[in-house]
Amino acid sequence: MIRYALRCEKGHDFDGWFRSSDGFESLRAAGQVTCTHCGSAQVDKALMAPRVAQSRDEAPDLHSPRNDHEAALERLRRHVEENSDYVGMSFAAEARAMHEGLAPERAIHGEARLEEARKLLEDGIPVAPLPFRSRQRAN
């Protein structure tokens, strides 16, 4: 497999994985390589930096944010985890109980199936998805 940095005619950058260079070319010629942002089929390879193997002493730091967006998400995650209780898959039941006055109100976070979250919103219970997975389930 080979990874290419790609760019469409409108300047959108994205990545693609292909079996080979010839595989990329034949798919592109058939109009099957399209921009992930706008759908344009006029796509070319973008300039890529070569991948250089690192020594074991220079292993990448996989725990530090790579950019400002990741840093902001990490700050949000830390704030949520420090200021709310993790309730796991009981999130929908806990949120409903608090809304109906059957449980004391408090800040919570956890998981809910899509249909459970949709039902909470339909019933006027204010919930919102978080843009990250809980550390408790991150294995």
Domain that holds residue 119: 68-137
Q: Are residues 37 and 84 in the same domain?
A: no
Tokens of 28: 């592109």
Assess if residue 90 is contained within a domain.
yes
Q: Same domain for 79 and 132?
A: yes
pLDDT tens track, the chain, 139 positions:
888 999 999 999 999 999 888 989 999 999 999 998 899 999 999 877 776 666 666 666 777 888 888 889 999 999 999 999 999 999 999 999 999 999 999 999 999 999 999 999 999 999 999 988 777 654 4
pTM above 0.85, yes or no: no
Strand spans (E) along 1-42: 2-8, 13-18
Residue 32: closest CA among 42, 47, 19, 45: 42
Q: What is the dihedral of CA 120, 121, 123, 124, to 10 degrees?
A: 120
In a domain, 94, yes or no: yes
